[in-house]
Amino acid sequence: MTEVRGPAKVISFINMKGGVGKTTLTKEIGYFLASRRNKRILFIDLDPQSNLTQSFFRKYNYSQEDLLEVEEEHSGFINSGDTRVSVKKNYTNASIHKLFTPGKVSDLSKDDCILNLNDNISIIPGTLKSVFSERNSSIENHLYNYVNNHKLKEEYDYIFIDCPPTYSNYTIAALITSDFYITPTRPDSYSVLGIDMLDQVVKQIKDHHQVYFTGRELKALGVVFTDLQQPNTGIQKLKTKIIQSSKIKDLGIRFFDRSFVYNSHLPKQAEYFITDSMSNTIEELTIIVDEFERRVKE
């Protein structure tokens, strides 16, 4: 029997700008909550680039069925000195692809889409062959319906959605399913523009899809600055300028107290997770997670 949890809070990690740390923050906050706070998390990889899926698959030694033939040719063995050591991969055919294929969502089982990686971590993997139409509005409610049909909120503490950087039907699918959204932002001179644009998109989606927001809200958790390069004094000044800009104040945008600090391992190793590392950036991550949990409970 499945242990009763939740009701899960559904949270979209979103910014319609690319390369601002959405995927990294989704993975690091979620993994920290699962492994240090004993929370059950369902990750949903909505980005056709599938970077979140690749990170978790590397860590837990998974691959997708679709890649089976290709990988059998290339792997199965690794060279370790003179001896070839067999590495056994686990294969799954769970994927988000089925969820967004036009058809009946009610026919889909949990196993069709969800892969359980351990007691606390599950994922709806993105698929590398995902070439599904981004211009098919009939798929917008599929994720919402799937979460409801399987009462997924009762099984998890958090459902984290890693959103793609471009506006599409997936953006709508993510936001109509979400209770909150959080906005990773790289501090640069275009940040205010990006935050403003997202604010408008959220308002528009709430307006066009009112039926999903009766009796529930879609709240902004705030902006988290992500330091994708070594921070310097110029960056600190820029952050202050952004926070204090009149546009941001007018919109009532909140910011997290701490930035997601620079960590040189992140861009190099997909299977690297701060929580399992010896990095002192764990302390900084802990402060972000504390603030994250506080804001969700407010």
List interacting residues with ligand ATP (CB under 6 A).
18-24, 47, 49, 51, 165, 226-228, 260-263, 266-267
- Burial pattern 232-248, b for ≥16 Cβ within 10 A else e, equals eeebeebbeebbebeeb
Angle between helical axes of 22-36 and 281-297 (0-180°, round to 10): 90
- Angle at 273 (CA atoms; ends 271, 277), nearest 5 degrees: 115
Q: How far is the CB of 162 from Mg ion (least distance, A)?
A: 6
Measured from the CB atom, is 138 or 229 closer to ligand ATP? 229
31 binds, among Mg ion, ligand ATP, none (CB under 5 to 8 A by kind): none
Measured from the CB atom, is 54 or 120 closer to ligand ATP? 54
Contacting positions for Mg ion (CB under 5 A): 22-23, 47
Measured from the CB atom, is 177 or 226 closer to ligand ATP? 226
- CA 82 from chain centre, in angstroms, equals 41
270 binds, among Mg ion, ligand ATP, none (CB under 5 to 8 A by kind): none
Measured from the CB atom, is 22 or 40 closer to Mg ion? 22
Rounded Cα–Cα distance for residues 163 and 137 (Å):
17
Rounded Cα–Cα distance for residues 181 and 174 (Å):
9
Q: How far is the CB of 217 from Mg ion (least distance, A)?
A: 25
If you ran DSSP here, which 8-state letter would residue 260 be given?
B
Q: How far is the CB of 25 from ligand ATP (least distance, A)?
A: 7
Measured from the CB atom, is 157 or 227 closer to ligand ATP? 227
18 binds, among ligand ATP, Mg ion, none (CB under 5 to 8 A by kind): ligand ATP
If you ran DSSP here, which 8-state letter would residue 238 be given?
H
Rounded Cα–Cα distance for residues 161 and 143 (Å):
11
Measured from the CB atom, is 113 or 182 closer to ligand ATP? 182
Q: How far is the CB of 52 from Mg ion (least distance, A)?
A: 7
Q: Where are the beta strands (DSSP E) in the chain?
A: 9-13, 41-45, 62-64, 77-80, 83-86, 90-92, 115-116, 121-124, 158-162, 180-185, 219-225
Q: How far is the CB of 85 from Mg ion (least distance, A)?
A: 33
